[in-house]
């Protein structure tokens, strides 16, 4: 039996269709005395060969949205509404068997902490080999050869020796590269990256980000990249969706959001990052207050209590989505009032 081609798997959706279509997604966790409305009507699409970043503070619904694409939430205490389609398939209608075939082969995930995601009692190589053989009828030797090739592709030194290592025997950066190799093992069309650089130092972070972008271009992957770091999103993303309190409050190309942010929360995120125009010793801007309680969401804009541009109308009802220009939308009644200051213009 010969080794299958190393080219990406053929498309399962019609040519030109989005790889990912999320429509009116809601996710509610029912455990406890008060249900938590973690995602509230998210609409998002991802084209083939595109990197879309979901950014926002902790608790904004980014990872919940991402995990919904693989249906990883506990079904006994999770209620999911809306529509999720990946490569033309209805994710919410899949049986458990269909989900097992879909995970890894069509959509795969890079988890935030690979030491927890990888099984500690098996070598990294064993885990990659078993993942490949779960989805493809090839021999163990062929699967091992592919695992070795993957380790070489993600630039793990001494790949043969690293395949025989247990997760705890590898550094954080090497584990994350191994996690990327595992996610790519079955040639998925969609890669979901859940804050893959959070636990790494700055030097390794940029290496991982550049590696992901290189692999995306080489393999034609669609990637949804979750991060709280808007600087990381700017580095790797074609488009950025800003989430707050379970809603996308602004979406556009990376260039549009850097040069013309129209939601006050997006502007606040940009101002709160270190940038080249920040004077030495100057204090970073911060976002005052805290995100809202997702079990007691306000009737109006959830950001109103933290926003220095809020008016009474902001608290009355949810603001409608406004199209700023093609591909650039914001959910705010005062989009004309948000401007990029000179510091951000100098940094862009």
**Each residue's pLDDT tens digit, 1-46:** 333 333 333 333 444 579 999 999 999 999 878 899 999 999 999 9
Q: Which residues pair with 78 in a beta bridge?
A: 29
Extract the runs of DSSP E, i.e. beta strands, from the chain: 20-29, 36-46, 51-55, 78-86, 89-90, 107-110, 190-194, 222-227, 239-244, 247-253, 321-325, 328-331
List the 328-331 sheet strands across, edge first.
Answer: 107-110, 190-194, 222-227, 51-55, 239-244, 247-253, 328-331, 321-325
pLDDT for position 9:
39
If you average pLDDT over every residue of the chain, what do you get?
88
Distance in angstroms (rounded) separating the CA atoms of residues 30 and 337: 38
Pinpoint the residues of the chain covered by CATH 3.40.50.300.
20-106+188-347
Per residue in 230-268, pLDDT (tens digit) is 888 888 899 999 999 999 999 999 999 989 999 999 999
Distance in angstroms (rounded) separating the CA atoms of residues 143 and 25: 37
3-state secondary structure of 191: strand
pLDDT for position 158:
95
**What pTM was computed for the model?**
0.87
Per residue in 58-78, pLDDT (tens digit) is 999 999 999 999 999 999 999
pLDDT for position 334:
85
3-state secondary structure of 19: coil
Distance in angstroms (rounded) separating the CA atoms of residues 212 and 37: 32
Torsion, Cα 81 85 89 91, to 10 degrees, reads -40
Given a cut of 80, is residue 82 above it in pLDDT? yes
Distance in angstroms (rounded) separating the CA atoms of residues 317 and 305: 14
Structure tokens belonging to residue 251: 């979406």
CATH code for the structural domain at 20-106+188-347: 3.40.50.300
């Amino acid at each position: 039996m010969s080794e299958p081609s190393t080219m990406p798997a053929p498309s399962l959706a019609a040519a030109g269709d989005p790889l990912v279509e999320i429509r009116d997604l809601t996710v509610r966790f029912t455990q406890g005395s008060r249900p938590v409305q973690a995602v509230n009507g998210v609409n998002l699409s991802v084209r083939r060969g595109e990197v879309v970043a979901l950014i926002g503070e902790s608790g904004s619904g980014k990872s919940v949205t991402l995990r919904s694409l693989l249906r990883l939430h506990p079904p006994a205490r999770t209620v999911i509404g809306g529509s999720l389609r990946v490569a033309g398939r209805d994710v919410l209608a899949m049986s458990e068997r269909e989900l097992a075939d879909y995970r890894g082969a069509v959509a795969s995930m890079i988890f935030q902490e690979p030491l927890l995601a990888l099984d500690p009692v098996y070598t990294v190589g064993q885990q990659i080999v078993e993942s490949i053989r779960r989805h493809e009828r090839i021999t163990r030797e062929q699967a091992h050869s592919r695992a070795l090739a993957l380790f070489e592709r993600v630039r793990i030194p001494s790949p043969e020796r690293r395949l025989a290592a247990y997760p705890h025997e590898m550094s954080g950066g090497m584990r994350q590269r191994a996690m990327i190799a595992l996610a790519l093992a079955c040639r998925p069309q969609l890669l979901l990256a859940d804050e893959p650089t959070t636990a790494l130092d700055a030097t390794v972070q940029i290496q991982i980000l550049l590696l992901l972008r290189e692999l995306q271009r080489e393999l034609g992957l669609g990637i949804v990249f979750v991060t709280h770091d808007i600087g990381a999103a700017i580095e790797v993303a074609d488009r950025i969706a800003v989430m707050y309190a379970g809603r996308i409050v602004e979406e556009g190309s990376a260039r549009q959001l850097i040069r013309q942010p129209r939601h006050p929360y997006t502007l606040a995120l940009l101002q709160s990052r270190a940038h080249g125009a920040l004077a030495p010793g100057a204090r970073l801007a911060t976002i005052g207050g805290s995100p809202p309680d997702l079990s007691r969401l306000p009737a109006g804009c959830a950001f109103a209590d933290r926003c220095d541009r809020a008016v009474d109308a902001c608290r009355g009802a949810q603001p409608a989505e406004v199209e700023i220009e093609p591909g650039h939308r914001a959910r705010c009644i005062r989009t004309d009032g948000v401007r990029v200051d000179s510091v951000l213009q100098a940094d862009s």
